[in-house]
Amino acid sequence: MKNITSFVDLLFNFLYKVKKNINSKLNKQALSITKLKILKIISNSKNYATNIKKKMGFSSRTIVSILDNLEKNKLLHRKQNMKDRRIKDLYITNNGIKKLREAENINKIMLEDSFSSLDKKQIKTFKEVCNILINNKNSITKK
């Protein structure tokens, strides 16, 4: 069990460093991995804060704070829903699309760099192992 614990600690440490480095680069564009994901969700279809909350697993307060920031930076805009006044539709702006594309490129390059020491076979094996763990019927990821 100790080997698994040390392996998980290593994995968390690696992922923390990758996320920290990517966020550091994205912060220069007033973005983060989380904001990138939210812009991606909004760019793919008409969305509402409650949909994003469900997809991201964050509290309402966190989502509203992030959306406020994205709107302040003119990356998205909210518009009153014509059918339900309680809802505001979210739309990505042209500037948001531009920033999203730039951020996706930065994210892709940095992820490729982070995994560059692995060959294609090792990456394939790592992906297979992750899928096995995620789909494990006894896994906590299922609960």
**Angle CA 79–104–93, to nearest 5:** 20
**Angle CA 73–77–78, to nearest 5:** 135
Domain interval for residue 69: 18-117
Q: Is residue 45 part of a domain?
A: yes
Whichever domain contains 72, its CATH number is: 1.10.10.10
Domain tally for the chain?
Answer: 1
Summarize pLDDT for 23-41 with one digit per residue, the tens: 999 998 889 999 999 999 9
Q: Is residue 66 part of a domain?
A: yes
Cα torsion angle, 81, 53, 38, 77, sign: positive
Summarize pLDDT for 53-68 with one digit per residue, the tens: 988 999 989 999 999 9
Q: Is residue 59 part of a domain?
A: yes
Summarize pLDDT for 92-116 with one digit per residue, the tens: 999 999 999 999 999 999 999 999 9
Q: Is residue 1 part of a domain?
A: no
Q: Is residue 37 part of a domain?
A: yes
Please report the DSSP string for 78-90 in residue order: EEE-SS-TT-EEE
